[in-house]
Amino acid sequence: DAVKEMDAFLSLILSSGIPVHILPGDTDPTSLHWPQRPLHSSLFRTSASFPALLNRTPNPYASSMQINDDGAVVTMCGTDGRNVSDLKSTQGLVSNSGEPMTECQILQQLMEWRHMCPTGPESVPTVPHAQLDPMVMKQNAAPHVWFAGNASEFGTDMVGDNKTRLLAIPKFSETGQACLLNLATLDVELLRFVDQP
């Protein structure tokens, strides 16, 4: 069963002391409406024995991480990519060259609009909030990293005065690709995994 395999894989990673942040997606067993709740702890029977290292997050996700002993902090904000793919398919956004926007360009557009999911609740179900829209990004607080998963292809760029790293993370099941992000430098390395016969 896929859940048991995922749990076993996560346990291997966690047992070597590497922290894991796991973000739900639109096909995962959690709430449908954004912000999605974290995946339930019962899905992680073995890996739950590493509570300090396994961080079940909501979608969208925001976090601050201390990266060295000097107290330097990196802020991250990201989603499973549903907001980006929905905007791409429903709005037909085009770049200055007249070509359809890439997922990375859409991430930049979302940063400029300061809204994580402008197509909600029309085509991405979002929970209505009377006082404060949790999808609005603070005007003067751009994250150091703004990412979206399940992209059709890898994309990255550095934008803005705060030097925000945009990261369109490819869908692993289709591309066999993953990304490594150096939190100290915000440099990104694309990894490719190939099945050997």
- Phi and psi of 13, rounded to 5°? -65, -50
Q: In this structure, are 28 and 103 located in the same domain?
A: no
Q: In this structure, are 143 and 97 located in the same domain?
A: yes
Q: In this structure, are 135 and 191 located in the same domain?
A: yes
Residue that terminates a domain, selected from 57, 78, 98: 57
* pLDDT value at residue 39: 96
169: pLDDT strictly greater than 70:
yes
- Is the backbone peptide bond immediately before 134 cis, with ω within 30 degrees of 0? no
DSSP H/E element including 190: strand 188-192
Residue 162 tokens read as: 């705060």
Q: In this structure, are 115 and 19 located in the same domain?
A: no
pLDDT digits (tens, 9 = 90+) for 142-158: 899 999 999 999 999 99
162: pLDDT strictly greater than 90:
no
The residue written with tokens 């609740």 in the block is: 121
Give the number of C-alpha atoms closer than 13 A to the C-alpha of residue 25, restricted to the C-beta side: 11
Residue that terminates a domain, selected from 57, 72, 89: 57
Q: Is the whole-model pTM more than 0.85?
A: yes
Residue 2 pLDDT grade (very low, low, confident, very high; cuts 50, 70, 90):
confident
Q: In this structure, are 197 and 172 located in the same domain?
A: yes
The residue written with tokens 């359809």 in the block is: 100
pLDDT digits (tens, 9 = 90+) for 37-76: 999 999 999 999 999 999 999 999 999 988 888 888 999 9
Which burial class, exposed, middle or buried, applies to 182 when counting CB atoms under 10 A from its CB (0-12, 13-18, 19+)? exposed
Domain residues for 10?
1-57
